[in-house]
Amino acid sequence: MSEDNMWKAPYRGANPISATVEIPGSKSVTNRALILAALAKSKSILRKPLHSRDSALMIAGLQAIGCEIKKLENGDLEINPQPFFGPASVDVGNAGTVMRFLPPVAALAKGLIHFDGDPRSHERPLGPVIAALENLGISIEHGGRYSLPLTINGAGKIIGGELDIDASSSSQFISALLLIGPVTEKGITIRHIGNHLPSQPHINMTVAMLQQFGAQVSVGKSADGHPQWQVEPGELHGLDLIIEPDLSNAAPFMAAAMICGGEVVIKNWPKETTQPGDELRKIFSQMGAQISFKDSDLSVKGGGEILGIDVDLHDVGELTPSIAAVAALATTPSSLRNIGHLRLHETDRLSALATEINSLGGDVDEEESALHISPAPLHSGTFHTYEDHRLATAGAMIGLVVSGIKVENIATTSKTLPDFPGQWNQMLGNK
């Protein structure tokens, strides 16, 4: 990798931080809101949405199939729903939400809609969504691979019905099909038949947002005891919606106060939310941070000892890289458990974290579904990111107190954080 692609992580040492940070809008909420607004019967305004590669790909995909989306001068988005149609081509990049959420929407279009993305997108699991759409009568060309690239030949409507889905590798499989439930003719009932269900809070978020837009959703268990979701057919209405800040993206900024000492205040932290990132308040408190609300903001104070943690991250796996980075700087061992599904994300996050932290002198033991991290003195070196935005921010966190860390391709953070290096330097008071 050329030096041009290396970012020298700002070194701070034990010099306390005092900063207030405003985190851009949630990727998960923005992308769900974009789809629901596109499926609604009336106009929506999304205020303070995330503008990143992932959300840009979602917007471009919806525009490609006919939806009118306009960016206003203040950055808000105006969505005017229109009938979907092909032919069209959609680039999903390597964005999980785009590659899983848009094919069901495209199946509502009349005509051929072709999907492709970055090379890594061809390897990421998509089969259950494709199979479910086929079970709903949708014609899809995928060469028997049940993965990208693929072409959907939509008939302009979806009848709906009952679906059995194994979502063990991604909760997005369920969310993707729930989102279109209201605009199918019979509604959709989904039964999860897998052994486990990762990232349950993201499904809860999908259900809550469907209800916000006017859908009738019931959650319970099937007759044989499987988790079940039922979405009734009906009209969605447009909304004027303020997008919450992305709480998962707050992790590196919160951690900075723990790592260097001082206080970081995160603006506009919601008192109630379905975002998995809200768990950071509890997890980082257990690792030694002092966390409290200041009116509508969240204060994170550090300066004491960073403690290791033994924690089940099954429901909040996306927080793993940030927690692993803090754990690598702790004085006691940590175990991050039930995170095997992270091997199927932008990269194999377990292997990548173990490899990169160990390359800096760390002591990370990798199991199939867990990371065990023991205290060890870290040294300078290169932190590779594998085109994964959360790996990149993890490298920046370690670089705060380990001199001479170079992070490969820091620009990959733009998938969810438009200007992470700028915000990071601003927090540190660097020009």
3-state secondary structure of 426: helix
User: Over the Cα atoms of the chain, what is R_g?
Assistant: 21
| Rounded (to 5) percent helix, strand, coil in the chain | 35, 25, 40
Q: Provide the phi-psi class of 377: left if phi over 0, else alpha when psi is between -120 and 50, else beta.
A: beta
Asked if residues 341 and 172 have their Cβ atoms less than 8 Å apart, the reply is no
Half-sphere exposure of 427 (CA within 13 A, CB side): 33
**Of 375, 422, 384, 404, nearest in space to 5 by CA:** 384
Nearby residues of 225 by Cβ (< 8 Å), 6 or more positions away: none
- How far apart are the C-alpha atoms of 259 and 138, rounded to whole Å? 51
The tokens 């106060």 sit on which residue?
257
Helices (H), 273-388: 280-286, 320-327, 349-359
Query: Which two three-digit tokens encode residue 282?
Result: 């509890």
Asked if residues 353 and 371 have their Cβ atoms less than 8 Å apart, the reply is yes
**115, β-bridge pairs:** 90, 150
Q: Is 244 a catalytic residue?
A: no
Strand 290-294 and strand 310-312: the pairing is unpaired
**Of 30, 38, 31, nearest in space to 182 by CA:** 38
Cα 226-232-233 angle, rounded to 5 deg: 140
Q: How far apart are the first and last CA of the chain?
A: 27
Q: Which of 232, 279, 305, 318 is catalytic?
A: 318
Active site residues: 318
